[in-house]
């Protein structure tokens, strides 16, 4: 997909990232997940990267290691609760603990409701909502065993507004927002929760759109788009805060866009 306006930001200069943490990132093979891995590796954190495309993860982990970072990878399907548990336990086994889980994996096959693409609805619910819940269920006991942790859940500006063809997608992101706020309220200081809601961002999300009209509309909508590194910077900011500071919500939009 071609965007008419883009912004480049690929060189990371760590700015007081704080102590090194163990961070697990879902959906790390491309887009926001990959950019977050690059930024957090530059900040000195130790990473476990998860996604279904293991070949991409392997290449990214090797690149980060060669650049002085510490990154390992594991195949991950967030719709499979057992797979997510294995992913979280792998982080603990390899690095001794898990400090941060970035629940980033997501899909966005937009279409009007009257197209009745129920298989795509189910896929969005499974990845975007159940994937986050599986991450929380797997990581919460591990984090608490080691004294606390931090969930960074990736939502969307669609968590605050609804647009045509995006009803189900927005519903999943509203759910992620609600789940994040519920987890924050139920925590007693040991668990931090950050909701990051990107506006239009360069990624492969729109590649999942099979409805022709929705796909064409998204090309126009994405004419002005942030680089994924802008979202990675926001995540890095939240992760770098001291333990007594919980950055609850960050919304990041292109300055040149009204969306």
CATH numbers and ranges of domains, the chain: 22-252 (3.40.50.720)
Strands 100-103 and 249-252, sheet pairing: unpaired
Exactly one of 7, 12, 160, 169 is catalytic; which is it?
169
Element holding 240 (H helix, E strand): helix 228-240
160 is a catalytic site residue? no
Whole-number Å distance between alpha carbons of 76 and 78: 6
pLDDT tens, residue order, the chain (259 aa): 333 333 344 444 444 667 899 999 999 999 999 999 999 999 999 999 999 999 999 999 999 999 999 999 999 999 999 999 999 999 999 999 999 999 999 999 999 999 999 999 999 999 999 999 999 999 999 999 999 999 999 999 999 999 999 999 999 999 999 999 999 999 988 999 999 999 988 755 555 666 566 555 555 555 567 999 999 999 999 999 999 999 999 999 998 755 4
Structure tokens at 215: 């796909």
């Amino acid at each position: 997909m071609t965007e008419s306006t883009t912004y480049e930001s690929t060189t990371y200069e760590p700015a007081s990232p704080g102590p090194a943490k163990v961070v697990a990132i879902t959906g790390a093979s491309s887009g926001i997940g990959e950019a977050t891995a690059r930024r957090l590796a530059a900040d000195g954190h130790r990473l476990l990267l998860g996604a279904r495309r293991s070949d991409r993860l392997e290449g990214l982990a090797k690149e980060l290691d060669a650049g002085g970072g510490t990154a390992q990878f594991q195949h991950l399907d967030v719709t499979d609760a057992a797979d997510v548990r294995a992913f979280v336990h792998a982080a603990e086994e390899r690095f001794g603990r898990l400090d941060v889980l970035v629940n980033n994996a997501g899909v966005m096959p937009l279409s009007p409701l009257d197209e009745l693409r129920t298989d795509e609805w189910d896929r969005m619910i499974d990845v975007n909502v159940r994937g986050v819940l599986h991450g929380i269920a797997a990581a919460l006991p591990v984090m608490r065993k080691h004294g606390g942790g931090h969930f960074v859940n990736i939502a969307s500006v669609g968590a605050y507004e609804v647009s045509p063809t995006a009803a189900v997608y927005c519903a999943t992101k509203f759910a992620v927002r609600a789940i994040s706020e519920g987890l924050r309220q139920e925590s007693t200081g040991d668990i931090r929760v950050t909701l990051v809601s990107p506006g239009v961002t360069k990624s492969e999300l729109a590649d999942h759109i099979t409805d022709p009209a929705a796909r064409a509309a998204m090309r126009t909508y994405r004419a002005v788009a942030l680089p994924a590194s802008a979202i990675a910077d926001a995540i890095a900011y939240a992760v770098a805060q001291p333990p007594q500071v919980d950055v609850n919500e960050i919304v990041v939009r292109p300055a040149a866009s009204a969306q």
